[in-house]
Amino acid sequence: MTNIAICAPATPITREQSDALEALVAAEFPGHRVTFHDQCFERAGHFAGDDLRRLSALLEFANDPAFDVVWFAKGGYGSNRIAQAAVAQMNRAARTKTYIGFSDAGYLLAALYRERIGQSVHGHMPVSARSEGGKEAIRRVLRWLEGDTSGLEPSLDGVTPAAAFNLITLAMIAGTPMMPDLTGHVLMVEEVSEHMYSVDRLFFHLAGTLPRLAGLRLGYVTDVPENYVEFGQNEEDIARFWCDRMGVPYLGRAEIGHTSANRVVPFGLASPPART
């Protein structure tokens, strides 16, 4: 039995969304058990509870040896406000866990990876359990937790370490105490709801801060707002341009992003989590 703890370090989810995930797990994944923290449903303005409440819920589950996995319920904005405090207070039990999320949860995945706490994993989140496409993305995560690697990003080779981030999240992490050392990694980035000029600007910032990468892959760039004038380059043109500037190999596309096609990317070297 894999005991999965779910908390919301950024924004809240609804009871309907948690019910949908619980129904999916009960019907298809009897080897998993999910536990939602009550904090997932609280609201303090934009956030799922104030900073202290979100931090306390995360630490409660991360430091509890009864749980194998901490799964972040939803993205949004807010994980950055508690990430450093969280990793500073995690105990030995927290260091054995798998932590799963993407988008805004990248702040926590980065901080955890930097401090070598558990296994950080880019993967879909419980908030998507009500849609058919979202369910399939969630199934990839749950199958991977069972040892099934079919839902991994296809380019992972098990030899070169990898990491995956939302582009604007990574740009905000760069230069902060949460930034892990990605030297020698294949970096995968994706974006949603940003103008194309903003995508270019984010690559500009990262080009001046990233270490020597093994290569870069571009995930999905979706829901791009219409600007008053065409930027003149698409997302792949932009990625190639800045890879050339950095002297980093552009390796092509990755199947990650804010879509139901989102694949699983364990940070470091890809392998199913060990369970005792």
What pLDDT score was predicted for residue 166? 98
pLDDT at residue 270, as a whole number: 64
In the chain, helix, strand, coil percent, each to 5?
40, 20, 40
- DSSP bridge pairs for 27: none
| DSSP state letters, 188-252 | EEEEES--HHHHHHHHHHHHTT----SEEEEEEEE-PPPPSS--SS-HHHHHHHHHHHHT--EEE
Is 0.75 surpassed by the pTM of this model?
Answer: yes
Backbone angles phi, psi at 176, to 5 degrees: -105, 170
pLDDT of residue 153: 97
pLDDT at position 230? 93
C-alpha distances out from residue 96 to 36, 131, 185, Å: 20, 32, 23
pLDDT on residue 276: 43
pLDDT in tens, the chain (276 residues): 999 999 999 999 999 999 999 999 999 999 999 999 999 999 999 999 999 999 999 999 999 999 999 999 999 999 999 999 999 999 999 999 999 999 999 999 999 999 999 999 999 999 999 999 999 999 999 999 999 999 999 999 999 999 999 999 999 999 999 999 999 999 999 999 999 999 999 999 999 999 999 999 999 999 999 999 999 999 999 999 999 999 999 999 999 999 999 999 999 996 666 554
| Distance separating alpha carbons of residues 29 and 23, to the nearest angstrom | 10
User: What is the distance between the alpha carbons of residues 73 and 21, in angstroms, rounded to a whole number?
Assistant: 10
CA nearest 7: which of 73, 95, 89, 87? 73
Q: Give every strand in the sheet of 2-7, ordered side by side.
A: 32-36, 2-7, 69-72, 98-101, 119-122, 265-266
Radius of gyration of the chain (CA): 18
- Distance of alpha carbon 201 from alpha carbon 219, whole angstroms: 17
Kind and range of the H or E run holding 56: helix 51-62
